[in-house]
Chain A
């Protein structure tokens, strides 16, 4: 019990240090600033009718949050882990009673903390943008006292701006980024080249978006095509996370919100993938010559 507690302390210390390092890094701060500007900018980029306007605004805001988060996850993992090896800070670290898997878990949790923090800040900003848009929209409407029609119009606007399903979408974006980060951490346990890690992670990201197509082909052709082809498709479907599944986020934002069940399933899927990736990362890192 005591040793488990000490393990957690060390992971926590490494995670905390990772977060501090990330926050003092110029690259990540620039990306984050860029994200904030994009989110804020969405306020000024929309001048269509109310209904379209809110949809466009949400699409834009969430795209900004998602892209910024992905870039931070990618660059964060691809920079911070190889840097420890290249700058040999890992040597002094491992001269302390630290196990290698504690290092990997600490790094991952630190990055996850970074992403969580940035998502929170960007979401708060976006909530502000939605509120501002709502106020602007209401300005052009007749007051609620002037009749049933006005009340309905006001209700239509606030239903758009105060859509609680947006929180659900946010949680799913967070889960998706957690998986992307785990993929990047996995690759950074094998290589020290930032470019290699970014490229391979992006590759997995894109293949992950296409793999549901591959799976459909596989299911259709079962029995029809060669076992080699089937085996390959099955392998891809098994090894690479299905990022297409997260398109649920777009559905939620568009207002075609499916029940929470779909999201819960996706969350479980994410947790499993992260756990497997971190386990494999730790095993790979354990044997690595430093």
Chain B
């Protein structure tokens, strides 16, 4: 019992009473977490703002999108201000805008010093937010460590330079003069991530709406 008081949990595909509105769910779960009265109401407002659901607070949960449900789930897990958060697939089945929002919330919590443990199939997202990762396969932990430990290729450099009007040939010449042979060098223009491209290609209005319904 006392362990559950310091723990916030968001199950995979969280199910909340869908006849309640966002506010009502938070009030209900807040009472179950031992909060009440003014402090509960204040906490609810704070969390609705944190997960950006102020505008949908009075709508019943059955009208929420997947991303909104995950966000109200996050708010619910945070009600009693736990030190440790367990999130099971927090962005599974959520559209790119929605999952970016969830990622931003997780990063914000991390900055406030919360310990967050989450599972995910979306490895790219894991890479973006995690300090340490563990790889599980068939119930066995195969690897564990910080991202730098696990992913760094220690005997290589990656270099990023502004083009400044120069050609690839010129760069190769400079590097060749410093002793690298031609087939050791690979040069290409960097690419933006598809997620960033997707979000940047939405019109401004679309972004705002995506935030509301995402």
What is A's interface to B at a CB cutoff of 8 Å? 6, 9-10, 12-14, 16-17, 20-21, 24, 87-89, 91-93, 95-99
- What is the interface size of chain B, counting residues whose CB is below 8 A from a CB of the partner? 26
CB–CB A13/B11 < 8 A:
no
* Known contacts A13-B28, A17-B28, A97-B1; is-contact A92 B16 (Cβ 8 Å): yes
CB–CB A20/B19 < 8 A:
yes
Of B29-37, B132-140, B183-191, B197-205, which binds chain A? B29-37
The CA of A128 and the CA of B125, in the complex, are separated in Å by: 65
Residues of B within 8 A of A96 (CB): 4, 29, 32-33
What is B's interface to A at a CB cutoff of 8 Å? 1-2, 4-5, 7, 9, 11, 13-20, 24, 28-29, 31-34, 36, 73, 76-77
Going nearest first, the 4 A-B pairs with the smallest beta carbon separation are A13-B31, A95-B9, A96-B32, A88-B15
Within the complex, the shortest CB–CB distance from A198 to chain B, in Å, comes to 22
Within the complex, the shortest CB–CB distance from A83 to chain B, in Å, comes to 9
* 14 A-B residue pairings within 8 Å (CB atoms): A6-B34, A9-B36, A10-B32, A10-B34, A16-B28, A21-B19, A89-B17, A91-B15, A92-B9, A92-B29, A93-B32, A97-B1, A97-B32, A99-B1
Which residue of the partner chain B has the closest CB to A88? B15
* Known contacts A13-B32, A97-B34; is-contact A24 B4 (Cβ 8 Å): no
Within the complex, the shortest CB–CB distance from A163 to chain B, in Å, comes to 41
The CA of A89 and the CA of B5, in the complex, are separated in Å by: 19
CB–CB A92/B19 < 8 A:
no
Within the complex, the shortest CB–CB distance from A53 to chain B, in Å, comes to 43
A92 contact from B2, B7, B76, Cβ within 8 A: B76
Residues of B within 8 A of A91 (CB): 11, 15
* Known contacts A92-B76, A97-B1; is-contact A9 B17 (Cβ 8 Å): no
Within the complex, the shortest CB–CB distance from A102 to chain B, in Å, comes to 9
CB–CB B16/A89 < 8 A:
yes
The CA of A155 and the CA of B4, in the complex, are separated in Å by: 66
The CA of A97 and the CA of B24, in the complex, are separated in Å by: 18
CB–CB A92/B11 < 8 A:
yes
Residues of A within 8 A of B5 (CB): 97
The CA of A13 and the CA of B90, in the complex, are separated in Å by: 27
Which residue of the partner chain B has the closest CB to A96? B32
Which residue of the partner chain B has the closest CB to A24? B19
Within the complex, the shortest CB–CB distance from B169 to chain A, in Å, comes to 61
With A17-B20, A89-B15 given, can you name 18 additional A-B contacts, CB distance below 8 Å? A13-B32, A14-B32, A20-B19, A87-B15, A89-B16, A89-B17, A91-B11, A91-B15, A92-B9, A92-B15, A92-B76, A95-B4, A95-B7, A95-B11, A95-B77, A97-B32, A97-B33, A98-B32
Residues of A within 8 A of B11 (CB): 88, 91-92, 95
Residues of B within 8 A of A21 (CB): 17, 19
Which residue of the partner chain B has the closest CB to A25? B19
Within the complex, the shortest CB–CB distance from B52 to chain A, in Å, comes to 21
Within the complex, the shortest CB–CB distance from B99 to chain A, in Å, comes to 20
Within the complex, the shortest CB–CB distance from A16 to chain B, in Å, comes to 8
Residues of B within 8 A of A17 (CB): 17, 20, 28
Which residue of the partner chain B has the closest CB to A17? B28
Residues of B within 8 A of A13 (CB): 28, 31-32
Residues of B within 8 A of A20 (CB): 19-20, 24
Residues of A within 8 A of B76 (CB): 92
Residues of A within 8 A of B20 (CB): 17, 20
CB–CB A10/B31 < 8 A:
yes
B4 contact from A6, A12, A92, A97, Cβ within 8 A: A97
The CA of A91 and the CA of B20, in the complex, are separated in Å by: 17
The CA of A16 and the CA of B19, in the complex, are separated in Å by: 13
Residues of A within 8 A of B28 (CB): 13, 16-17
The CA of A9 and the CA of B2, in the complex, are separated in Å by: 16
The CA of A16 and the CA of B5, in the complex, are separated in Å by: 22
Within the complex, the shortest CB–CB distance from B83 to chain A, in Å, comes to 14
Which among B11, B20, B24, B28 has the greatest number of chain A C-beta atoms within 10 A? B28
The CA of A6 and the CA of B36, in the complex, are separated in Å by: 11
The CA of A97 and the CA of B30, in the complex, are separated in Å by: 11
